[in-house]
Amino acid sequence: MDWWACAVIRKDLWDKIGGLDPNYFFSYGDMIDFCYQVRKLGYKCIYYPLVQIIHKGSKAVTRDLQTRIMGLKRGYLGCLYFLHKYKKGILYIYLTKITYFLISFLKGIIALSLTPIKKEFKDIAFAHFYVSFWLLKIFFSNNYKNI
């Protein structure tokens, strides 16, 4: 079962912030950034898990290997873009990149060890290994939008 979330916000606050930053495409970083800006303006962001919303007419995202890889890349890039956007220190950004590499690599090892139990873990392992080495490849890049 997939879990989704939605946000309810007053229009005047939405307009004051300027909506979501389009550079976060497909990374979930847009809501992190949006809530960060809401809190900077002195408002609260409240998570309320007891409400259910049914989204009709959407298309499910496939779980093929390319989609997994793209999702992982965009997720990491979204967080790195957030740090870059708000001028966090370069040391902090590089430590985050190393942490993301280690997380992705360890997830790949765990998924690979679970492959004999479930065949689907093979694609998950490959995706994490691919993305962890891709993170090393872009380690010194500061372009978090179109990689």
Q: What is the mean pLDDT of each run of 10 residues along the chain (147 residues)?
A: 71 92 78 91 88 66 78 86 85 91 95 91 92 89 66
Measure the CA–CA gap between 144 and 56, rounded to whole angstroms: 32
Measure the CA–CA gap between 5 and 37, rounded to whole angstroms: 19
pTM: 0.75
C-beta separation of 53 from 4 below 8 A: yes
pLDDT for the residue 146 = 53
